Amino acid sequence: MVYQQPALFPDLTVAENIALGLETGGLWRRIDWKGRSRAARDVLERAGAEIHPDVRVSTLSMPEQQIVEIAKAIGARSKILILDEPTSSLTDREVERLFQVIGTVRAEGAGIVYISHRLEEVAAIADRVTVMRDGATIATCEAKGLSRGELIRMMVGREIDAIFPKRAVPIGEVALEVRNLKSRAGIRGVSLEVRAGEILGLSGLVGSGRTQLAETIFGLTPAESGEIRLKGRTVQVTSPAEAIRHKIGYVPEDRRQHGVVMSMPICANVSLANLPAVCRHGLIDRASENALARTYVERLRVKTPSIHAEAGSLSGGNQQKVAVARWLAIQPAVLILDEPTQGVDVGSKSEIHGLIVDLAEQGLAILMISSELPEILGMSDRIAVMHAGKIVGVLSRGEATQENLLALALGHGQAV
C-alpha cells in the first residue's frame, strides 16, 4: 500500500525506511549496511528516483517522500499493489516515469489498484474503472471507450460545465511586489508582481523553488536580501506573524501537516490565524469563534455535521476549504495558494476553483502554485515559471501553452 500522505519515519534515512519493508531476519542478525544502501539504491533507480539512500527523510520534499514510498512498495515485489493518489505531488516527468514502472510491475504479474482523481491518468493506465461516491460504488466499466464527461457525471452526480471556471475580472494596482529576493532556501534573485484581482500562476518542476519562494514571502524562511513591497510600501517580513499583520495569507502544500490541525475542531482551525478577533481580555470568546467559523463554513460550503467536528473527520476537499477559511478570516490582501486542489475529488476541485475566481473578483491578489499544467493554464491571468530558484519567464494567458511552460521549466531559456 502506498498512501496518499507518505508514512515514512522522518528521522531515519531513506535506506533505513526502505529496509523496513524489505528486510527479514532474526533478532540478533547483523546489519549489512553497505548491502542495505545498495538495495535501496537499486529500488530507487528502478522507480526513477535520483535520491541518495543515506539522506535523512526529514530533509526530503513532499514529492521526494512520495517517490521513496513508491520505491519501497516496488522493492517488496508485491503481488497486489494499492496506490492512493501516487502522483498528487509529482511533476509530469515523474508521473511518466511512474507509469513506466507500473507497466513493468504489471508485466511481472502484479494486480494494481490505482486510486486517483486525475481523469487523464485513469484513461492512460486503467483496464477497468470503478467509480465511488459517498462511500458507495456507482459503477464499474471498461476504461476503453469511457468518455471524460461520462466519468465526471458518475463521480459528482451532476454535469460540470467547467472544471476551471475562470472569469475575466478587473485587474487593479500592484498589491505584492518582490524585488531581487534571495534566501538560504535557494531563492536566487526573484522579482515578480501580483495585482489586485489577478491570479498569478507559479509553475516549474519540483525543486525549482516554488514552495521556497512562497515560504520566503510569508516569512517562514526570511529573505537574506531583496525587497518585499505591499501596495507600493516596503515591508519587513521576517516571520509568519509579520506576514499576517501585513494581510498576507498562505495555504501550504501539505494540508495534513501544515494546512489544518486534524485533531482540532473546525471552529478552532478557522480562528487560529486571527485569534485577536475572537479574544476578550486574553481569553477566547467561544461565541465569537463559532460565529466566525459559521460564516466561512457557509461561504465555502464546507460539508460537515457541525463546526465542532474535528477537521480530520472531513474529506480532503473539505479539509482544504477549512485551510482556506483560516486565511480568509484575516481578510488578506494577498493570498498564496500552494497546490490548492492536490488530492481532492473533481467536484471539490471545481468548487475550489470557483472560490479562487470569486476571491480574485473581490480584489484579492492571488499567487497560485500548481504542478498541474491544466490547472495553471485554466486558472491563471499570467504565469511565472521557475527554474533553479529563479523566475525564467512570465507568460500572458494567451501566450501560455503546455509546451511553452515545460520548455521554460526545463531551463531551455525561452518558450517554444
Helix axes 62-75, 92-107, angle to 10 degrees: 10
Please tell me the predicted confidence (pLDDT) of residue 416: 42
Residue type, 414: Q
Cell numbers that stand for 50 in this block: 535520483
Q: Are 244 and 330 a contacting pair, CB within 8 Å? A: yes
Cβ burial 301-339 (10 Å sphere, 16+ → b, else e): ebebeebeebbeebebbbbbbbbbbbbbbbebbbbbbbb
Please tell me the predicted confidence (pLDDT) of residue 94: 75
> Which pLDDT tens digit goes with each residue over 248-295?
999 998 888 888 999 999 999 999 999 998 999 889 999 999 999 999
Query: How far out from the chain centre does Cα 276 lie?
Result: 29
**How far apart (Å, rounded) are the C-alpha atoms in residues 36 and 53?**
9
**pTM of this structure:** 0.71
Nearest to 333 by CA among 270, 248, 211: 248
> Which pLDDT tens digit goes with each residue over 342-392?
878 777 888 899 999 999 999 999 999 998 888 999 999 999 999 999 999
Query: How far out from the chain centre does Cα 394 lie?
Result: 21
**How far apart (Å, rounded) are the C-alpha atoms in residues 161 and 148?**
12
**How far apart (Å, rounded) are the C-alpha atoms in residues 74 and 270?**
40
Nearest to 395 by CA among 212, 172, 407: 407
Please tell me the predicted confidence (pLDDT) of residue 156: 67
Cell numbers that stand for 156 in this block: 459528482
Please tell me the predicted confidence (pLDDT) of residue 413: 61
Q: Please list, in sequence order, all residues whose beta carbon lies within 8 angstroms of the beta carbon of residue 234, skipping any fewer than 6 positions away.
A: 227, 228
Domains in the chain, ordered, with CATH? 14-126 (3.40.50.300), 174-409 (3.40.50.300)
Cβ burial 86-112 (10 Å sphere, 16+ → b, else e): bbbbbbbebbebbeebbeebeeeeeeb
**How far apart (Å, rounded) are the C-alpha atoms in residues 99 and 416?**
26
Beta bridge partners of 83: 2, 114
Please tell me the predicted confidence (pLDDT) of residue 402: 85
Query: How far out from the chain centre does Cα 74 lie?
Result: 24
φ, ψ at 266 (rounded to 5°): -55, -45
Low-confidence ranges of the chain (pLDDT < 70): 24-27, 89, 134, 156-162, 412-416
Neighbours of 366 (CB within 10 A): 28
**How far apart (Å, rounded) are the C-alpha atoms in residues 336 and 315?**
22
Neighbours of 149 (CB within 10 A): 11
Please tell me the predicted confidence (pLDDT) of residue 85: 82
